[in-house]
Chain A
Amino acid sequence: MSQSVQIKGTKSGIILVLDENVSFAELKEEIADKFQEASSFLGKHKMGLIIRGRMLSESEQEEVVGIIVNNSNLTITCIVDEQSTTERLFNIEKEERALEEKSASLESQEEAVSAAASALAYDNSALIYTGNLRSGQDISCEQSVILLGDVKPGGSITSYGSVFVLGELRGNAFAGAGGDREAIVMALKLDPLQVRIADAIAISPDAEKGPKIRFKKKKLVNTDNEPEVAYIDNGHIVKTSYGTSFLRQYNK
């Protein structure tokens, strides 16, 4: 893959690093490709744009914004010119605070982003935690999480990677918090209030009629003691038993 175009993200905007030695036409194609690839990860946000590495004329800047908007769900609110620190607004409401923050702490944010990016790159490490997570307690980290215990209702785990609960998961779990749609949530008993993976969210069905029914359901589930797993299939979170058929599909 050529490196003539690089995209970096910060909390309030994206930085586009362009190669000076490539023709503008080539760059445009490259930008289109890059944003198409990343559109699902970048999601639907309003952002500022910072262009580095190459000076662009006004009309060129506008072309670049057009390409980004057409190839992703992003809305570009402004272009930040780092030399003169003036911002050019694009008729959408300006988020003053975000901008101020951006010019003030650009450096520190970049550091944070590169740290997050390295975590995203799946270094296959995991945090192992022993004990129960009760209501109000939470684990949130960049690695995957392995929990030797239960997550009670009100407890929650947030991870950039996957979540494995060797116990009952009855609270909340958020896997792939950085946008990784391959992340999974696995538990010996998966009966959560909420499971989120990347940008998808699933909530537990409402108890229809009282504690008696709920109790019965519980017993039914208990009859087959298989671990369960939740993952994204076609943009929706699905739950299935963690067995050979799931693994075959997952390892593909």
Chain B
Amino acid sequence: MGEVIVITSGKGGVGKTTTTANLGTGLAKLNKKVVLIDTDIGLRNLDVVMGLENRIVYNLVDVIEGNCKLKQALIRDKKYETLFLLPAAQTKDKTSVTPEQMKKLTEELKAEFDYIILDCPAGIEQGFKNAIAGADRALVVTTPEVSAVRDADRIIGLLEANEIKKTQLVVNRLRPDMIKRGDMMSADDVIDILAVELIGQVPDDENIVVATNNGEPLVGDSSLAGQAYMNICRRVIGEQVPFLDLEAKKGIFSWFRKK
């Protein structure tokens, strides 16, 4: 029986889609059977981040409306055999799907996949309600800015009200140099405000931009962000992994120092 994980944030632009893509790819790397669902109907972009845009024939709304079979709409990843994407429709809007229908869909997918990961749209309207309907666990993504943290707080409240059993936090785009200077909240500061379990802290990394533009998630590579995402994946499947030391400067000297 699979687990349904929704990636949400409230505020836009904090890295929900990037986190979804990396989490999905990372879990596939760990030999799990994973399906990613883009629930951002009308503003889809998970397909672009995954580099699968050109393969879309059917989408989520087609599946819900019964225009095609579920299997027909699932797009297999370029690299990983066990990773699939169910893209959102671009020409419809969020009201084309109801929470009940989403719940039914995720139940159906649970039988076949280890993890069903839902990319939630920004906001707390219909799209959000659809995305969390069938979720067993929620990963709330936030950045260390007051606005994002405020929205995350609201989202966590709504998740609790909707009886999502497990809520964990990903703090994205941390900049160790700014934290050191005291210009930015650290992950610990954010946790103090939100009072939920931390599952990952991801540094601000140029490589993310490059990877997104290439349509190839960087999870698991040597970059700091890649390592951070891989650690999140390990924690999702239940491993105990210590948090990365984001201060570790990359480069030949630090490599020597470590030895």
User: In whole angstroms, how far apart are the Cα atoms of A150 and B57 in the complex?
Assistant: 21
Interface residue from B44, B54, B55, B210 paired with A210 (Cβ < 8 Å): B210
Q: Determine if B56 is an interface residue (Cβ-Cβ < 8 Å).
A: yes
B51 touches A138 (CB 8 A): no
* Interface residue SS majority, chain B: loop
Contacts of A201 in B (CB 8 A): 57
A211 touches B213 (CB 8 A): yes
User: In whole angstroms, how far apart are the Cα atoms of A203 and B53 in the complex?
Assistant: 9
User: In whole angstroms, how far apart are the Cα atoms of A132 and B22 in the complex?
Assistant: 33
Q: Determine if A204 is an interface residue (Cβ-Cβ < 8 Å).
A: yes
Interface string of A103-141 (1 = CB under 8 A from B): 000000000000000000000000000000001111000
Q: Known contacts A194-B56, A204-B54, A207-B51: does B90 contact A154 (CB below 8 Å)?
A: yes
Q: Determine if B78 is an interface residue (Cβ-Cβ < 8 Å).
A: yes
User: In whole angstroms, how far apart are the Cα atoms of A116 and B95 in the complex?
Assistant: 30
Q: Give the shortest distance, in Å, between B9 (CB) and chain A (any CB).
A: 22
User: In whole angstroms, how far apart are the Cα atoms of A207 and B216 in the complex?
Assistant: 10
Q: Which of B42, B54, B55 has the most CB of A within 10 A?
A: B54
Residue count of chain A within 8 Å CB distance of chain B: 17
Q: Known contacts A136-B90, A137-B91: does B54 contact A194 (CB below 8 Å)?
A: yes
Q: Determine if A206 is an interface residue (Cβ-Cβ < 8 Å).
A: yes
Q: Known contacts A136-B42, A194-B56: does B90 contact A210 (CB below 8 Å)?
A: no
Q: Give the shortest distance, in Å, between B46 (CB) and chain A (any CB).
A: 13
Q: Known contacts A136-B90, A137-B91: does B214 contact A203 (CB below 8 Å)?
A: no
Q: Which of B43, B51, B90, B215 has the most CB of A within 10 A?
A: B90
User: In whole angstroms, how far apart are the Cα atoms of A153 and B42 in the complex?
Assistant: 13
Q: Give the shortest distance, in Å, between A92 (CB) and chain B (any CB).
A: 16
- Offer 5 A-B interface pairs, CB within 8 angstroms, sorted by A: A154-B44, A154-B90, A206-B78, A207-B214, A211-B213
Mark B residues whose CB is within 8 Å of A.
42-44, 51, 53-57, 78, 90-91, 210, 213-215
